[in-house]
């Protein structure tokens, strides 16, 4: 399993950062485009996307890995 990808606020933009990485792998003008990029990376690495709100707190997570006991999806 690869690094989890975090979508975090960065000034007036949104950044995609690999877990425990100091630098952003990409910076986007909207949160939606940052989430799309993070999702592409997470699917390729079979990891998770962690979406942070404007206040920096985690607001959502999506898993793209292979979990033998996945949690029940209550969002959809």
pLDDT of residue 28: 98
pLDDT of residue 70: 61
Q: Which domain holds residue 53?
A: 5-63
Our count of domains for the chain comes to 1
Q: Is residue 74 part of a domain?
A: no
Q: How far is CA 16 from CA 6, 27, 49, 57, 72, in A?
A: 6, 6, 9, 15, 26
Q: Residue with structure tokens 């995609």?
A: 16
pLDDT of residue 66: 72
Q: Quote the pTM value.
A: 0.85
| Model pLDDT for residues 50-75, shown as the tens digit of each residue | 999 999 999 999 988 776 666 666 66
Q: How far is CA 71 from CA 19, 22, 23, 67, in A?
A: 21, 29, 30, 9
pLDDT of residue 65: 76
Q: Is residue 73 part of a domain?
A: no
- Dist. CA 43–CA 6, nearest whole Å: 13
pLDDT of residue 67: 64
Q: Is residue 70 part of a domain?
A: no
| DSSP conformation letters of 59-76 | EEEEE-S--SSPPP----
Q: Is residue 41 part of a domain?
A: yes
Q: Is residue 30 part of a domain?
A: yes
């Amino acid at each position: 399993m690869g690094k989890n990808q975090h979508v975090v606020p960065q000034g007036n933009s949104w950044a995609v950062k690999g877990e425990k990485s100091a630098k952003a792998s990409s910076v986007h003008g909207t949160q939606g485009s940052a989430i799309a990029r993070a999702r592409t990376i997470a699917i390729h690495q079979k990891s998770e996307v962690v979406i942070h709100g404007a206040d920096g707190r985690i607001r959502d997570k999506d898993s793209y890995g292979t979990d033998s006991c996945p949690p029940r999806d209550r969002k959809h």
